[in-house]
Amino acid sequence: MSDGTTDPASAFDAYARDYDAALQRGLDLSGETKDYFAEARVRILRETLDRNRRPAGRILDFGCGTGGSIRHLCALPGAAGVWGVDPSEASLHRARAEHAGVIFCAPRDLPETERFDLVFCNGVFHHIPPAERRAILEWIRARMNPDAWFALWENNPWNPGTRWVMSRIPFDRDAVTLTPPETRRLLCSANLEVIDQSFWFYFPAALKRLRPLEPRLSHIPFGAQYQTIARRGRA
């Protein structure tokens, strides 16, 4: 999808049935499953919310795929409902089957009146052609309440292990990754204020005894993934 000629929705429709197996072929290098990473990302987000004394409120999972993060997002303190949006209808069909009580739809079908206090997005923007990323962010911003947060997780191209993992995953091989500074600039270009950026997943399962050190390392930009928190202003 690096040249923008492949429709991301069509690409992920093809992988919806076997998405977990395709993803796991890459994650096997870490010794962990996708569920480990899904739980950890939302736990890190929860800790960020707690430090800032923010309830989750109404949550939008942008690019929810088959719904791997949904149950963790639903459990966030103060969560007042979760919506999942994704352009892949095949992925949404699977998500609906596995997560009763959550509303899933394509972005075009999200009602214009819906507004959210927290938008979560994991591993989506490296699949969006660079020329389209700002427009997507502006779409997201328009659906955020004043002072709402956007929690954007991306794969870190500065980590060689990340590149190795992505090379083993069919739908990630041609992705155009974003460096941490590129992500900050992109968010600012859509009039979102970056208030935090942290780096995680330094140690594979073989070194998991070292994982308690990760909070102390989170300012060093070499973790396999990074979380960027941006806020919509009141204007």
Residue 46, judged by CB atoms within 10 A of its CB (0-12, 13-18, 19+), counts as middle
Number of domains in the chain: 1
- 12 pLDDT band, cuts 50/70/90, is low
Across the range 41-45, mean pLDDT stands at 98
Residue 5 lies in a domain: no
Percentage of the chain with pLDDT > 90?
77
Residue 8: is its pLDDT beyond 80?
no
Residue 3 lies in a domain: no
* Per-residue pLDDT tens over the stretch 75-119: 999 999 999 999 999 999 999 999 988 999 999 999 999 999 999
Question: C-alpha dihedral over 118, 227, 187, 220, to 10 degrees?
Answer: 150
Percentage of the chain with pLDDT > 70?
89
CB 200 within 8 A of CB 223: yes
The C-alpha angle with vertex 1 and arms to 90 and 24, in degrees rounded to 5, equals 60
CB 57 within 8 A of CB 116: yes
Residue 1 lies in a domain: no
Residue 130 lies in a domain: yes
Q: How far apart are CA 3 and CA 216, in angstroms?
A: 38
Residue 105 lies in a domain: yes
Across the range 143-159, mean pLDDT stands at 97
Which pLDDT belongs to residue 201?
96
Which pLDDT belongs to residue 168?
81
* Per-residue pLDDT tens over the stretch 155-205: 999 999 888 888 887 777 888 999 999 999 999 999 999 999 999 999 999
CB 217 within 8 A of CB 202: yes
Phi and psi torsions of 180, nearest 5°: -55, -45
- The CATH number that applies at residue 81 is 3.40.50.150
Residue 54 lies in a domain: yes
* Per-residue pLDDT tens over the stretch 52-83: 999 999 999 999 999 999 999 999 999 999 99
Residue 34: is its pLDDT beyond 90?
no
Domain boundaries, position 178: 10-232
Residue 207 lies in a domain: yes
Residue 9: is its pLDDT beyond 70?
no
Residue 146 lies in a domain: yes
